[in-house]
Structure 1
Amino acid sequence: MTALAFDHPALNAHAVPSASPVAVALIAAGSILAKWETRARTRADLRRVDPELYQDIGLTTAEVLIETAKPFWRA
């Protein structure tokens, strides 16, 4: 069984066909941490967007407030 760490096949070239359960768990944990970091960073960036530009990115003020109020671990 191949342990896939990322959604894109090119990023999984390192995956060993018979990875140990520990390796699979570490890869999964790394993937989750990367998603959390991305969410935290993009939500922080969204907080800095000028409210006049919300319409340009296809969001309402309410949608921005809801999204930026979420903790990084919640999708």
Structure 2
Amino acid sequence: MTARTVPHTVLVSRLGCRPSPFMILRRVHLRLLARWYDRHLQRLDLAEIDEHLLRDLGLTPQDVRRECAKSFWQA
């Protein structure tokens, strides 16, 4: 197990010290970038759903256009 995949509490108990602020910040940024990319992919998938399936989901084409018009960082 590398330091990148080990949770903070395990690092403290195994190493007897806290991870550096840089390590914590890096982990947070990687999670944020992954979330943004996942959101981007979900919106691409949503844009490809046909109208019949949208009705089954309770969405209108206007809902889809509004969601897909958002930037990747917007929830």
Tell me the TM-score normalized by structure 1.
Answer: 0.75
- Alignment partner, residue 54 of structure 2: 54
Q: Percent identity?
A: 35
Q: What amino acid maps onto 2:19 in structure 1?
A: A
Which stretches in structure 1 are left out of the alignment for 5+ residues? 1-12
Root-mean-square deviation (CA, aligned residues, Å) is: 1.4
- C-alpha deviation, 1:46, in angstroms: 0.5
- C-alpha deviation, 1:51, in angstroms: 1.7
Give the number of the structure whose alpha-carbon radius of gyration is greater.
Answer: 2
Cα-to-partner distance string for 1:10-64 (whole Å, 9 max, x where unaligned): xxx7113321100000000001001001100000000111122111122122211
Matched residue SS, 2:72: coil
Higher helix fraction: Structure 1 or Structure 2?
2
Which stretches in structure 2 are left out of the alignment for 5+ residues? 13-17
Tell me the TM-score normalized by structure 2.
Answer: 0.75
- C-alpha deviation, 1:69, in angstroms: 0.7
